[in-house]
Structure 1
Amino acid sequence: MEKPSVRKIKYAGNHIYEDQEIADVVRTGTGSILNLYRINEDIERIKSLYTEKNYHNCEVTYTSEMLDNNQADISFNIEEGDKLKVKQILFEGNKFFQEKEIKDVIKTDEKGFFTWITSSGELDKNELEQDVYRIEALYKNNGFIDARISDPEVIFEKDHILIRFKIQEGDQYKVGSVNFNGDLIVSEDRLMQTLKMKTGDLYSREKLRTNLFAITDIYMDKGFANADIVPAINKDDESKVVDITFQIEKGSPVYIERILISGNSKTRDKVIRRQLAVYEQQLYSMSGIQRSVKNLQRIDYFENVDIKTSKGSREDMLNLDVEITEKATGAFSFGGGYSSEDSLFGMISVSERNFRGKGQILSAKAEVSSSSTRFTLSFTEPWLFDIPLSFGIDAYNWDKEYDYYDKDSKGGAIRLGYMIFDYTSAGIRYGYEDFTIDNVNTDFTEVDEGQYVTSSITTSIGYDSRNRPFNPTEGSDHSLSVEYAGGFLGGEIDFTKYIAETGWYYPLFWKFTGFLHGKAGFLDDRSRDDIEIDYERFYLGGINSVRGYEWQDINATPENEDEERGGEKFIQFNAEIIFPILEDINLSGVIFYDMGDAYTKDEDMELEDLYSSFGGGFRWYSPMGPIRIEYGQILNGNEYSGGRWEFSMGAAF
Structure 2
Amino acid sequence: MTRSQFIGALLLCLTVGLCQSAWGQSLTLRGGQQSQMQQVLPEVVKIELGGVERVDAAAIRALLRTKTGQTLKPALVTADVHRIFEMGLFDDVRVGYKRKGDGVVLRFQVLERASIAAVRLQGHDALSTEAVMKVVSLKTNSLYKPAEAQDNANKIRELYVEEGYFLATVTPEVQRLKGNQVLVRFVIRERAEIKVRAIEILGNQGIADGDIKAVLRTREGSFMSLFGKDGTFKRETLETDLQVIQYLYLTKGYIQAKVEEPVVSLSPDMRYVRISIRVNEGPRFRVGKVSVKGDSQVDIAKLQKKLKLQTGDWFNYVHVQSDGQMLSGAQKRFGYAFATVSNESLPKTGGKVVDWVYHVQKGDKVYFGEIKMVGAATTRDKVIRRELQFAEGELYNESKLKISKIRVQRLGFFEKVEIKTKPSKKRRVVDVVVRVKERTTGTFQVGAGFSSVDNFITTAQISKDNFLGRGQRLSVNASFSSIRTMFQGSFFEPYFLDSNVTFALELYNFQQLFTDFTRNSLGGSLSWGYRFIRELHLDFTYNLEQVSTSIGGLSGRADVPIASLFNSGLTSSVRMTLTYDSRNDRMVPTSGWFAQASAEFANPVLLSENVFNRYTGRVRRYFPMPLNGVLKFNLVWGQITAPTGQNVPLFERFFVGGIFNIRGFQRNTLGPAIGVPSSGDPAAILSPFNIGGTRQLYLNNEFELPLLKAPVNLRGLLFFDIGNAFGENQDLSIQNMRMSFGWGIRWFSPVGPLRFEWGIPLDPQPGEDPLVFAFTIGNSF
TM over 0.5: yes
TM-score normalised by L of structure 2: 0.72
**Do the aligned residues in 2 keep the contact of 1:628 with 1:649 (CA within 8 Å)?**
yes
1:605 and 1:367 mapped to 2: Cα distance?
Answer: 36
Deviates more, 1:94-103 or 1:420-429: 420-429
- Letter in structure 1 aligned against 2:321: R
Distance 1:136 1:528, change over 3 A: same
2:573 and 2:468 mapped to 1: Cα distance?
Answer: 32
Give 1:289 deviation, angstroms. 0.9
Give 1:96 deviation, angstroms. 2.0
The correspondence of residues 312-461 of structure 1 with structure 2, limited to 5 A, is: 312=424, 314-439=426-551, 441=558, 443=560, 448-449=565-566, 451-461=568-578
Query: For 1:110-169, what per-residue CA distance to the aligned partner results, in whole angstroms no more than 9, with x for missing partners?
Result: 111122211222110111111111111111111111111111111112243211111111
2:308 and 2:239 mapped to 1: Cα distance?
Answer: 29
**1:466 aligned to 2:578?**
no
The equivalent of 2:260 in structure 1 is: 150
- Letter in structure 1 aligned against 2:577: S
Give 1:31 deviation, angstroms. 13
The answer to which structure, 1 or 2, has the higher relative contact order (CA under 8 A, 6+ apart) is: 1
- Letter in structure 2 aligned against 1:479: Q
**1:534 aligned to 2:647?**
no
The equivalent of 2:598 in structure 1 is: 481
Out of 518, 523, 529, the residue aligned to residue 635 of structure 2 is 518
**Do the aligned residues in 2 keep the contact of 1:447 with 1:532 (CA within 8 Å)?**
no
Out of 767, 772, 775, the residue aligned to residue 644 of structure 1 is 772
**Do the aligned residues in 1 keep the contact of 2:764 with 2:770 (CA within 8 Å)?**
no
The correspondence of residues 30-429 of structure 1 with structure 2, limited to 5 A, is: 84-159=194-269, 160-188=272-300, 190-192=302-304, 194-236=306-348, 238-312=350-424, 314-429=426-541
Give 1:635 deviation, angstroms. 1.2
Distance 1:444 1:631, change over 3 A: farther
- Letter in structure 2 aligned against 1:534: L
2:520 and 2:190 mapped to 1: Cα distance?
Answer: 77
1:490 and 1:207 mapped to 2: Cα distance?
Answer: 65
Query: For 1:161-214, what per-residue CA distance to the aligned partner results, in whole angstroms no more than 9, with x for missing partners?
Result: 211111111222232332222223333454246544333433222331222112
Query: For 1:227-267, what per-residue CA distance to the aligned partner results, in whole angstroms no more than 9, with x for missing partners?
Result: 23222222225442332222222222222233233433422
Distance 1:596 1:178, change over 3 A: same
Query: For 1:509-548, what per-residue CA distance to the aligned partner results, in whole angstroms no more than 9, with x for missing partners?
Result: 112211122111122222753x551222222111121111
Distance 1:371 1:422, change over 3 A: closer
**Do the aligned residues in 2 keep the contact of 1:414 with 1:430 (CA within 8 Å)?**
yes
Out of 741, 745, 752, the residue aligned to residue 625 of structure 1 is 752
The equivalent of 1:498 in structure 2 is: 615
The correspondence of residues 554-573 of structure 1 with structure 2, limited to 5 A, is: 554-557=670-673, 562-573=688-699
RMSD: 3.5
Give the secondary structure class of the aligned counterpart of 1:366.
Answer: strand
Give the secondary structure class of the aligned counterpart of 1:642.
Answer: coil
**Do the aligned residues in 2 keep the contact of 1:263 with 1:323 (CA within 8 Å)?**
yes
1:577 and 1:252 mapped to 2: Cα distance?
Answer: 46
TM-score normalised by L of structure 1: 0.85
- Letter in structure 2 aligned against 1:134: V
Give the secondary structure class of the aligned counterpart of 1:510.
Answer: helix
Distance 1:111 1:638, change over 3 A: farther
**Do the aligned residues in 2 keep the contact of 1:581 with 1:588 (CA within 8 Å)?**
yes
1:243 and 1:207 mapped to 2: Cα distance?
Answer: 14
Aligned residue pairs total: 609
1:95 and 1:268 mapped to 2: Cα distance?
Answer: 61
**Do the aligned residues in 2 keep the contact of 1:443 with 1:563 (CA within 8 Å)?**
no
- Letter in structure 2 aligned against 1:543: I
Give 1:565 deviation, angstroms. 2.4
1:443 and 1:127 mapped to 2: Cα distance?
Answer: 72
Distance 1:587 1:317, change over 3 A: same
**Do the aligned residues in 2 keep the contact of 1:395 with 1:411 (CA within 8 Å)?**
yes
Deviates more, 1:45-54 or 1:275-284: 45-54
**Do the aligned residues in 2 keep the contact of 1:493 with 1:527 (CA within 8 Å)?**
no
Residue ranges of structure 1 left out of the alignment (5+ in a row)? 3-13, 33-38, 61-77
Distance 1:557 1:92, change over 3 A: same
**Do the aligned residues in 2 keep the contact of 1:635 with 1:641 (CA within 8 Å)?**
no
**Do the aligned residues in 1 keep the contact of 2:516 with 2:689 (CA within 8 Å)?**
no
Q: Compare CA radii of gyration and give the structure with the larger one.
A: 2
Distance 1:524 1:388, change over 3 A: same
Out of 660, 669, 678, the residue aligned to residue 544 of structure 1 is 660
Distance 1:57 1:290, change over 3 A: closer
Give 1:342 deviation, angstroms. 2.6
Distance 1:600 1:154, change over 3 A: same
Give 1:431 deviation, angstroms. 0.8
Distance 1:573 1:239, change over 3 A: farther
1:459 and 1:44 mapped to 2: Cα distance?
Answer: 67
Residue ranges of structure 2 left out of the alignment (5+ in a row)? 3-121, 127-131, 138-143, 171-187, 553-557, 676-685
Distance 1:314 1:481, change over 3 A: same
1:205 and 1:227 mapped to 2: Cα distance?
Answer: 20
1:601 and 1:197 mapped to 2: Cα distance?
Answer: 58
The equivalent of 1:11 in structure 2 is: none
Distance 1:545 1:326, change over 3 A: closer
Give 1:404 deviation, angstroms. 2.2
Distance 1:452 1:582, change over 3 A: same
1:283 and 1:80 mapped to 2: Cα distance?
Answer: 57
Distance 1:375 1:31, change over 3 A: closer
Query: For 1:542-566, what per-residue CA distance to the aligned partner results, in whole angstroms no more than 9, with x for missing partners?
Result: 1121111012221023689844222
- Letter in structure 2 aligned against 1:118: G
**Do the aligned residues in 2 keep the contact of 1:437 with 1:448 (CA within 8 Å)?**
no
1:96 and 1:274 mapped to 2: Cα distance?
Answer: 54
Distance 1:48 1:533, change over 3 A: closer
